Amino acid sequence: MQVVIGIDSSTQSTKALAVDVDSGAVLGRGRAGHTVSGGAGRESDPREWWRALGEAVAGTGHADRAAAVSVGGQQHGLVTLDRAGEPVRPALLWNDVRSAPQAAALVAERGAETWARRAGSVPGASFTAAKWQWLREHEPEAADRTAAVRLPHDYLTERLTGVAATDRGDASGTGWWTPDGYDTELLARLGLTESMLPRVVGAGQPAGSVLPGLPLPAGALVAAGTGDNMAAALGLGLRPGVPVLSLGTSGTVYAVTPGRPADAGGTVCGFADALDAWLPLACTLNCTLAVDRVAALIGRDREAVEPGGSAVVLPYFDGERTPDLPYASALFHGLRHDTTPGQLLQAAYDGAAFSLLAALDQVLAAGGAETAEGTGGELLLIGGGARGRAWQQTVRRLSGRPVRIPAAEELVALGAAAQAAGLLTGERADEVARRWGTAEGELLEPLPRDTEALERMVDTLRRSGTLFES
């Protein structure tokens, strides 16, 4: 039996799965937490990720048997390293919105159409290019000390192998990658050189092998790894035209498409997938954590929702990415004397799901994809929220689509494991996952689409625009 280990280095923890290459059976699991600093931004020490990776891998109980390994990591984060390979400062995480002014300035300078055409996306505060520009403006000494720039998964892959390597999927979220390679004109504008960035490894190719002295067998193959959303798509063995809605601390909706997205409106990020296609994606900052916050404020269990009422909640506690409102705060509207706590909580669910579902058709259209044949328009629902009945009902009621809940869990780590397995078998990573049957699960029939609730949210968002801008 051959064993591979897939790693998910997310915002708040690292998870690892030991998986049997032949059957896809999960043989062992490990997990270790990270510290995220609050205050004005969101930061983490990359060395904590490395510590957590070691603990999580050891926790699988199969580290000594791994023939290959791969890392899926949170997208966009800015890791700055000095000449000795040590972090210059804590990494700026994807959900740190301090770089919103820098993103706006970069878009104004080049124009949204140019950004969409060259990078595939119009950068927001999450993008690495904007974060690097923020560092140059606010901490120039740290920028001057930086000899290398990495994404979170790049940093961990380099610690495993000694090789500076990345993949096209995660690189496409920086703002400085194009299908033809790094955008040298933009790098020069940002005071970077191509030599400061990792080499982009082709799909199915190893980044290197495990160095001696680590909690994995020396010489074990290490895949290029990828971003967390790309890894989850691999973990599902996702076919073109099948949309995915992921409910976690943040929310995402995406699909594999044959065409390269280029949404100058900025709603859809034109990411590459980890293979040879594209992964248009829309992302919100406020999802399950925001709903849980509302439940805590009103003293209700998260499942204690009630239908009806006129309340609208736009739960933008941390600012918002979709819609692009980085300075927004949460908005409660339409409350009356007869509004119940359960109705208010249901409105929070509706508000968190609204932006993702509103972007669903745009995501498919951006990559030139039609709904995949034979699926009945079903939506794959994944992430921590996918197991909650209130989330399931909300998505069915607002989308009008059938919803499938894959039985497989930890899809980012599973996708990384499939990528590692492909190095051993010669298969594409998505073919490995389909052989493992990872997307199989319960199918929930659609509910009538609640157009009244959708119209209330659209109207509230439109009328509150000046409030969010103040």
Cα dihedral sign, 171-172-178-183 = negative
Print the SS3 string covering 281-332: EEEECCCHHHHHHHHHHHCCCCCCCCCCCCCEEECCECEECCCCECCCCCEE
How far apart, in Å, do the first and last CA atoms of the chain sit?
60
Distance CA 4, CA 369 (A): 33
Q: What is the 8-class DSSP label of residue 240?
A: T
Strand 199-201 vs strand 165-167: parallel, antiparallel, or unpaired? parallel
Distance CA 339, CA 378 (A): 33
Alpha-carbon dihedral angle through residues 151, 153, 159, 162, given to the nearest 10 degrees: -80
Q: Is the peptide bond before 46 cis (omega within 30 degrees of 0)?
A: no
CA angle 258, 227, 416 (to 5 degrees): 95
Q: What is the 8-class DSSP label of residue 219?
A: T
Closest CA to 404 of 374, 363, 359: 374
Q: Which tokens sit at 194?
A: 């191509």
Catalytic residue flag (residue 228): yes
Distance CA 262, CA 121 (A): 6
Closest CA to 5 of 250, 291, 220: 220
Closest CA to 52 of 32, 73, 77: 32
Q: By the 8 A CB rule, do 175 and 130 touch?
A: yes
| Contacts of residue 134, Cβ cutoff 8 Å, sequence gap at least 6 | 92, 98, 99, 101, 102
Chain centre distance of CA 363? 15
Q: Which of 96, 154, 228, 273 is catalytic?
A: 228
Catalytic residues: 228
